[in-house]
Amino acid sequence: MTVPILGVRTPGQRIQGSLLLIAALFVVLFAAALTLSPAARLRSWQVDYRWSHWAAVAVWIFSFAAAHRATIRFLPNRDPVLLPLAGLLTGWGLLTIFRLTTTFGLRQTLWLALGTGVLLLGLRRPGILNGIRRFKYVWLAAGLALTALTLVLGTNPLGFGPRLWLGCCGVYLQPSEPLKLLLIIYLAAYLADRQPFTPHLIPLLAPTVLVTGIALALLLIQRDLGTASLFVMTYTAIIFAATGKKRILFTSALSLSGSGIAGYLLFDLVAIRMEAWINPWLDPSGRSYQIVQSLIALAAGGLLGRGPGLGSPGLVPVSHSDFIFSSIAEEFGLVGVFVLFILLAMMTLRGLRIALSAASLYHRYLATGITAYFAIQSIFIIGGNIRLLPLTGVTLPFISYGGSSLLTSMIALLLLLHISNHSASSPALHRESRPILTLGAIFFVGFGLAALTASWWSLWRGPDLSTRNDNVRRAIADLYVPRGRLLDRNDQPLHANTGEVGTYLRNYLLPDSGAVLGFNDPVFGQAGAEAGFDPILRGLVYHSPQTLWLSHLLYGQPPFGLDIRLSLDKDLQQRAQTALSNTPGAIVILNSRTGELLAIASNPSFDANTIAETGDSLGADPTSPLFNRATQGLYQPGGLLGPLLLTATRDADVLPEAPSALEITIQGQTFTCSRNTFSENPSWEEAIAAACPGALAELGLALQGDGFLDIVTQLGLYENLALELSTASLTAPIQIAAPGAAASGQGELRATPLQLARALSTISERGHLPSLQLALAVQHPDGQWLAYAESAAPIQVLGGIPSDQTAAALSTATGEYWSLAAPALNGPDSPLSWFVIATLSDSDSPMLVLVLLESDSLAFAEFIGRDLFESAP
| Element spanning 837, H or E | strand 831-839
* β-sheet bridge partners, residue 635: 751
3-class DSSP state for residue 211? Answer: helix
C-alpha span between 766 and 853 (Å, rounded): 28
State residue 306 phi and psi, 5-degree precision.
-80, -20
- With a threshold of 0.75, does the pTM exceed it? yes
Amino acid identity at 97: I
Residue ranges, CATH 3.90.1310.10, the chain:
473-567
pLDDT of 430 strictly over 50: no
**Under CATH, to which class is 473-567 assigned?**
alpha beta
Q: Are 79 and 127 in contact (CB under 8 A)?
A: no
Average pLDDT over residues 244-260: 77
Q: Give residue 418's pLDDT band: very low, low, confident or very high (50, 70, 90).
A: very high
Residues 254-312: tens digit of each pLDDT: 877 776 777 677 777 777 778 888 888 888 888 888 899 999 999 999 988 999 999 89
Residue 796 near residue 767, CB atoms below 8 Å: yes
Burial-class residue 151 by CB neighbours within 10 Å (0-12, 13-18, 19+).
exposed
Calculated CA dihedral for residues 201, 206, 211, 212, nearest 10 degrees: 50
Angle between helices 545-555 and 11-42 (to 10 degrees): 110
Class level of CATH domain 585-871: alpha beta
The answer to whether 821 touches 674, Cβ cutoff 8 Å, is yes
More confident residue, 697 or 217: 697
Burial 247-283 (b: 16+ CB within 10 A, else e): ebbeebeeebeebbeebbeeeeebebbbbbbeebeee
CATH 3.40.710.10 location in the chain: 585-871
Inter-CA distances, 339 with 27, 83, 215, 334, Å: 14, 17, 35, 9
487 within 8 A of 565, measured Cβ to Cβ: yes
For 181-200, what is each residue's pLDDT tens digit?
Answer: 888 898 888 888 876 655 66
Contact 572, 488 (CB under 8 A): no
Q: How many percent of the chain have pLDDT more than 70?
A: 90
pLDDT at position 42:
87
For the chain, the average pLDDT equals 87
Three-state DSSP state, 823: strand
Asked if residue 461 has pLDDT above 80, the reply is yes
Q: What is the reported pLDDT for 572?
A: 96
Q: Which of 783, 774, 712 is nearest to 743 (CA)?
A: 712
% of the chain residues with pLDDT over 90: 52
163 versus 783: the higher-pLDDT residue is 783
Question: Could you read off the pLDDT of 586-595 as tens digits, one per residue?
Answer: 999 999 999 9
Q: Please tell me whether residue 613 adopts helix, strand or coil conformation.
A: helix
For residue 780, the SS3 value is: coil
